[in-house]
Structure 1
Amino acid sequence: MTARTLLPALGLLAAWTLACAAPARGASPRIGSKKFTESVILGEIVTHLSRHAGDRPVHRKEVGGTRVLWNALLSGEIDAYPEYTGTITQELLSGEKLTTGGQIPPALGRMGLRMSRSLGFNNTYAIGMKEETARRLGIRTISDLRSHPALRLFLTNEFMDRKDGWPSLRERYRLPHPTVRGLDHDLAYRALEADQIQATDLYSTDAEILQHKLRVLQDDLKHFPAYHAVLLYRADLERRAPASVRAMTSLEGRITEDDMIRMNAQAKVERIPEEAVAVRFLAEKMGVQSKAEVETAWGRFLRHTQEHLLLVAISLGAAVLAALPLGILAAKQPAAGQAILAAVGIVQTIPSLALLVFMIPVLGIGGPPAVVALFLYSLLPIVRNTYTGLTDNPVEVRESSEALGLPPA
């Protein structure tokens, strides 16, 4: 296939991929969720509420982390996603120096965004113990730990290093425990179950609270910041999809911590699909009847395979068209070759996550940034191999070529 015929084919592939990867901008509304179970469940609940209101929502599941979702919301790639007040004040709007939750809506309003009231639960850090151990020792609050200095506390490494983690918790509550060690989150739960430790840190809506029958100790001195679950959405969604906004905000105050723990446990422990968990909650708690369209494992495999093949075909085809001339130029012009090889080498060292974070505000989410990233990472091996193939030919091969009358490479 020549370059003249390859370019139109690549263009058609690109158009097909982008159409599959991202719904049209006119679709209403586009719901995002982060790459963890609780966020996906909340995204599914919001999506089904919007559909029940008569709109045609699209749920973009597990788009990425906090910063990726935030940038997508600001750029208009998504219309809404679930977030936490602590994350908003401590990370997203940290430069605003917000001290109260009431300051968040005006700050968001200046960016063209809106925030719902709390969905009803607070997913913050907490200290947990086995219910049986806590009941036997009479421990209900974190302050009660002062009376039991011999208890073995193992905390996650992240919690040990956080400003609002162990150092400040120990100082605030004057906890006397002399030796507190760091431990992996999953290992800490197993150690609790085996009575090898007596307390650890956790998130207040973790599925493991129900699974391991843990008691969440009351933060009686209000040490941990509030991480109330809320919905962030674009202000113009009130005009484009008012029924969806009313449906989404009807979720305010409807999800308790026990509800969220139970839903997380259904998804993580019982392996029930997040969409089915969301549909069950809506039917039981809000009287909303909806249908879960659960994708089979085989269907998911085929869909992802198609997406990957298309992305690779587009990015690799474009990389070949760009990198082959660059490799030839690098071999023909040593001065230019140094710059070309250095440039494609530097691109190769950029972490993929950092590259995507920079591209999403410009290209949005979905297919386009993935194609560009794959294209950039494909340049180095093609340029390098082309350059090496042209410059490292053995002398005997060159002499034979000249003897046969072949033109110089």
Structure 2
Amino acid sequence: MRCTTRLFSRALMVMGFCLAIFVPALAHAQEGELKVGSKRFTESYILAEVIAQTAQAAGGKTRVLQGLGNTAIVFEALRSGQIDVYGEYTGTIALEIVKGDATMNLAAINQALVPLGLGAAVPLGFNDGYALAMRRAQADELGIKTLSDLAKHPTLKLGLSNEFIGRADGWKGLAARYQLGGQPIGLDHGLAYDAIAQKQIDVMDIYTTDAKIDHLGLLVLQDDQAYFPRYDAVLLYRLDLPQKHPAAWAALQKLEGRINEATMIAMNAQAELASQPFDAIARQFLVQNTAQALAGGQQATLQKVGKTSQSFGAQLWQRLIGDDLWRLTWQHLVLVLVSVGVATLLAVPLGVLLFPHPKLRALALGTAGVLQTIPSLALLAVLIAVLGVIGRWPALLALMVYSVLPILSNTVAGLSEVPPGLRNAALALGMTPGQRMGAIELPIALPTVMAGIRTASAIAIGTATIAAFIGAGGLGERIVTGLALNDSALMLAGALPAAGLALCSELFFEAVDRYLRRSKRI
């Protein structure tokens, strides 16, 4: 038993030493990089790659943080310096970020952004506006062509993205302007296309450069009262970017006017209909060097989809063994190992200290239990607000919080299993509390403690997939991107390796448990 305890103590020391080296390395890994962010929809993924590759071609080092979430999260990442630039839209900046009005031009927008340390520049050449759409056949049958016509049919089912429902320029204002009835349900933008195609909803919000509008035979309803402003694509950037990365900034300025609406629709189609990687789409656009070439190739892209369609199994296998598999798996493992490791270093000693004090023990377990009940996305949002950063740090902290309870509670439970007779015998032998804990109580409790670490690891492996929503990486990136593209094979290609990691974790801890119980009998 003493040998087992020494092994466990040494393992904790090694874990602490590794974390002391590794965690600071995370903070320095990103220095000197131009960090490009994106929201969680197809077009934003593509624009992020166009921006990053353009800057990299100028000799700079870039890093892309894809699928960070909605406007609020990506803007917070920019404001706090977690990213340097991302593609945004003038209407969104005016109404959502600087809280102005739809009449603001780029000069007025920049004047309002200066106090935030930000600027908007390099109009890319296309407008990607909000609109509502419905199946063309249904719209023709009901005689609906405009949003005013839609108001005459309040029983139609509305499926709108959650961001559109909550935006200042979204559902609430639109419903008030047109006197629209009905209560919309919140749907992920990518999933809404499937829902409307399967007639589960009748109306959805769309971006006017979406590739699936024509592909699914949807009719974009006319905004006959001019509610929506223009959403011209620009670069939203930190004002220190030109000084920190002058060559990259000079290269980015050459993107002005290079992407028209037909080009953007074609690139979106390459991603959503031909399942081409975002980086490959951006590379093709930059190599072609003309908007006309890509715009003229949209029909060829759509024809290619029909000719090269694969079975679901072939698509799944192709995505499963993609080039990013090991990178994402490593990122996922890092999130799990660091968070569970820190939780173990905190929870085991804390459990030992609290065990003799029932009231403090109950308070600590109750607090950990309350934190455990907070939904993961809600906890991530709170941590982003508190820490002022996105990415690995809030993700690691959230995973650590979820890992503390099972380890702490199992440490206490394991110590409670020590027979009173053994404690009395130790007292009779004159052993100090520390000697008693190290030689008797902790070795007996160790299998139960390891069961808590086992549970924490399983929770962390599953919850770490959510971390991709805030740019923390891991296998959740595939799931998040799959949601944006409505690509079931890609989502499954992220879920299956995560399930594999969970299975490997269970096998590892099962072997450790058998060893500990065999050592306990000896």
Q: TM-score, normalised by structure 2?
A: 0.64
Identity of matched residues, %: 41
- The answer for unaligned runs of 5 or more in structure 2 is 1-6, 292-317, 442-522
1:8 aligns with 2:9: no
Query: Which residue is 1:246 aligned to?
Result: 250
TM alignment of 1:8-407, pairs within 5 A: 8-15=17-24, 18=26, 23-27=29-33, 29-94=34-99, 97-98=100-101, 100-102=103-105, 103-129=108-134, 142=147, 145=149, 153-157=156-160, 169=174, 172=177, 189=193, 201-286=205-290, 297-360=321-384, 362=387, 364-391=389-416, 393=418, 397-399=419-421, 402=424
Separation in structure 2 between the aligned mates of residue 166 and residue 368 of structure 1, nearest angstrom: 34
Separation in structure 2 between the aligned mates of residue 115 and residue 24 of structure 1, nearest angstrom: 24
Separation in structure 2 between the aligned mates of residue 166 and residue 316 of structure 1, nearest angstrom: 42
Separation in structure 1 between the aligned mates of residue 357 and residue 198 of structure 2, nearest angstrom: 68
Offset of residue 353 of structure 1: 3.1
Separation in structure 1 between the aligned mates of residue 198 and residue 335 of structure 2, nearest angstrom: 47
Any idea what SS the aligned residue of 1:115 has? strand
Counterpart residue type for residue 263 of structure 1: M
Counterpart residue type for residue 213 of structure 2: I
Structure showing greater relative contact order (alpha-carbon pairs closer than 8 Å, 6 or more residues apart):
1
Offset of residue 222 of structure 1: 0.7
Separation in structure 2 between the aligned mates of residue 66 and residue 156 of structure 1, nearest angstrom: 20
Offset of residue 41 of structure 1: 0.3
Separation in structure 1 between the aligned mates of residue 248 and residue 98 of structure 2, nearest angstrom: 26
- Does the 8 Å CA contact 1:330/1:341 hold for their aligned counterparts? no
Aligned residues: 392
Distance 1:109 1:41, change over 3 A: same
Counterpart residue type for residue 380 of structure 1: L
Query: Which residue is 1:291 aligned to?
Result: none
Offset of residue 267 of structure 1: 0.5
Distance 1:262 1:334, change over 3 A: same
Separation in structure 1 between the aligned mates of residue 248 and residue 420 of structure 2, nearest angstrom: 70
Q: Which moved more, 1:376-385 or 1:49-58?
A: 49-58
Distance 1:36 1:186, change over 3 A: closer
- Does the 8 Å CA contact 2:125/2:232 hold for their aligned counterparts? yes
Separation in structure 2 between the aligned mates of residue 243 and residue 90 of structure 1, nearest angstrom: 32
Counterpart residue type for residue 256 of structure 1: N
Distance 1:137 1:26, change over 3 A: same
- Does the 8 Å CA contact 1:153/1:199 hold for their aligned counterparts? yes
- Does the 8 Å CA contact 1:210/1:265 hold for their aligned counterparts? no
Offset of residue 170 of structure 1: 6.5
Separation in structure 2 between the aligned mates of residue 355 and residue 179 of structure 1, nearest angstrom: 31
- The answer for unaligned runs of 5 or more in structure 1 is 288-293
Counterpart residue type for residue 34 of structure 1: K
Offset of residue 378 of structure 1: 1.2
Separation in structure 2 between the aligned mates of residue 142 and residue 321 of structure 1, nearest angstrom: 59
Counterpart residue type for residue 331 of structure 2: E
Q: Which moved more, 1:204-213 or 1:3-12?
A: 3-12
- Does the 8 Å CA contact 1:152/1:198 hold for their aligned counterparts? no
Counterpart residue type for residue 306 of structure 1: W
Separation in structure 2 between the aligned mates of residue 285 and residue 124 of structure 1, nearest angstrom: 25
- Does the 8 Å CA contact 1:329/1:336 hold for their aligned counterparts? no
Any idea what SS the aligned residue of 2:355 has? helix
RMSD: 3.9
Distance 1:335 1:138, change over 3 A: closer
Tell me the alpha carbon deviations over residues 109-155 of structure 1, each in whole angstroms, 9 at most, x when there is no partner.
Answer: 11211101542333332133556787999976556x48x96899543
Offset of residue 331 of structure 1: 1.6
Offset of residue 234 of structure 1: 0.9
Offset of residue 384 of structure 1: 0.9
